[in-house]
């Protein structure tokens, strides 16, 4: 069979053994495109345009973050950092600024507000004749003034949007409240890509095994997801526990008497900073019942979906094991309740017992 030529290879020299054969495009398409995170495009060597998260502070990634000046004026400050900019047919470029830079959008419209977009871009007039120059730049795409303005979307090929800046009518001062961070991230293939403010949790991955990092809220664990070819799957879960209320006796038991639809224990589940499923489990010992009634025991969330199986028991004494169930996806903080509903002909009561050594356990499962 006759060998079939492929596109190119690195490095190559001419037949004389010394003259270089590769150009800048070869290095971008062959080297950078192989190392960077791929994107969902028809070009098999396409990469994900975005900021490369290198630097951090207490507010998150600082790379190319757009901020108001210490004394707000008509300019915005862009922090140092690198980015990936793929140009059509040319492969990816990596641009960066080593120092903080200032951008100055056009003055506000006198009659209507508008939204401008601050972006990073790499120009290459040697390869793209329509470019106005060569090298990485920060620039501003001016929006259209309107009573209800929208952000413009016609950025140059490969440009990386960094922030949207609201420009109120007849007011050119840029304050922190008027800046919306829209940075999306890029990274090395095989490494964990850090999500930025402009990245959506629903954005798909490209190939199986792609990894991404989602920051959690407060002191809760962060989340590393992997793309399984169809959806992102979380690789970490964590547990929140609570204890039966009361002063334990010598056998470590606490007691309480409850009536209809009463919460035995109420637990606040903190916001983990990402969507999640919640299941609960508990063990109660030696329930006793009055008026020959039964009791329906369960754990629910926000007085709605169940986080444990429902167990009906009575008239006692009984041991109750609540097993975890639940597929509802939650966001933010929720309230979980261990409850009992007396069931019977009268308005009987149930005396519950809990062993403080057996924690009520809630498992937070990343969705």
How far apart CA 366 and CA 220 sit, in angstroms, is 12
Helix boundaries (H) for the chain = 24-27, 33-35
Q: Is the peptide bond before 240 cis (omega within 30 degrees of 0)?
A: no
Average pLDDT over residues 230-259: 84
- On the question of pLDDT at 287 being above 70, the answer is no
Place of tokens 């969705």: 367
**Tens-digit pLDDT profile for residues 126-163:** 999 999 999 999 999 999 999 999 999 999 999 999 99
pTM above 0.85, yes or no: no
Model confidence at 347, pLDDT cuts 50, 70, 90, reads low
- On the question of pLDDT at 75 being above 90, the answer is yes
Average pLDDT over residues 311-328: 81
Closest by CA to 336, choosing from 258, 260, 282, is 282
Contact assessment for residue 74 and residue 168, using Cβ atoms and an 8 Å cutoff: no
CA angle 339, 343, 349 (to 5 degrees): 70
How far apart CA 69 and CA 79 sit, in angstroms, is 11
How far apart CA 116 and CA 163 sit, in angstroms, is 8
**Tens-digit pLDDT profile for residues 184-229:** 999 998 899 999 999 998 888 888 899 999 887 766 677 888 999 8
- Going from N- to C-terminal start, the domains of the chain cover 46-184, 239-366
Query: What is each CA distance from 356 to 170, 321, 360, in whole angstroms?
Result: 64, 15, 9
Architecture per CATH, 239-366: Sandwich (2.60)
Torsion of CA 323, 327, 333, 339, to 10 degrees: -40
How far apart CA 45 and CA 64 sit, in angstroms, is 25
If one counts every other C-beta atom within 10 angstroms of the C-beta of residue 241, the result is 9
pLDDT at 61: 94
Give residues with Cβ within 8 angstroms of 98, minimum separation 6: 80
How far apart CA 217 and CA 270 sit, in angstroms, is 9
How far apart CA 4 and CA 10 sit, in angstroms, is 18
- On the question of pLDDT at 103 being above 90, the answer is yes
pLDDT at 343: 74
């Amino acid at each position: 069979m006759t060998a079939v030529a492929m596109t190119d290879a690195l490095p190559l020299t001419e037949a004389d053994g010394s003259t270089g054969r590769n150009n800048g495009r070869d290095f971008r398409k062959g080297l950078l495109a192989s190392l960077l995170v791929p994107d969902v495009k028809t070009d098999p060597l396409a990469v994900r345009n975005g900021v490369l998260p290198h630097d951090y502070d207490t507010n998150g990634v600082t790379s190319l973050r757009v901020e108001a000046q210490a004394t707000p004026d008509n300019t915005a400050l862009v922090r140092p950092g690198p980015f990936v900019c793929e140009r059509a047919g040319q492969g990816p470029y990596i641009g960066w600024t080593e120092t903080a830079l200032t951008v100055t959008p056009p003055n506000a419209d006198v009659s209507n507000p508008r939204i401008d977009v601050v972006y990073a871009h790499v120009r290459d007039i040697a390869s793209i004749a329509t470019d106005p120059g060569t090298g990485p730049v920060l620039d501003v795409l001016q929006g259209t003034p309107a009573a209800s303005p929208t952000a413009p979307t016609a950025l140059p090929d490969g440009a990386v949007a960094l922030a949207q800046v609201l420009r109120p009518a007849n007011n050119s001062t840029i304050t922190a409240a008027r800046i919306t961070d829209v940075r999306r991230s890029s990274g090395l293939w095989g490494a964990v890509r850090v999500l930025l403010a402009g990245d959506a949790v629903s954005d798909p991955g490209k190939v199986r095994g792609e990894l991404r990092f989602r920051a959690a809220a407060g002191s809760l664990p962060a989340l590393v997801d992997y793309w399984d070819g169809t959806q992102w799957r979380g690789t970490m879960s964590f547990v929140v526990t609570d204890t039966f209320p009361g002063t334990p006796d010598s056998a470590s038991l606490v007691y309480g008497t409850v009536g209809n639809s009463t919460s035995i224990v109420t637990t606040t589940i903190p916001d983990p900073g990402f969507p999640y499923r919640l299941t609960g489990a508990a063990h109660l010992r030696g329930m006793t019942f009055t008026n020959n009634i039964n009791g329906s025991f369960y754990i629910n969330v926000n007085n709605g979906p169940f986080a444990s199986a429902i167990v009906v028991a009575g008239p006692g004494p009984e041991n109750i094991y609540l097993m975890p169930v639940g597929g509802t996806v939650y966001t933010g903080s929720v309230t979980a309740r261990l409850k009992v509903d007396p069931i019977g002909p009268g308005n009987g009561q149930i005396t519950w017992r809990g062993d403080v050594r057996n924690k009520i356990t809630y498992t937070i499962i990343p969705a």
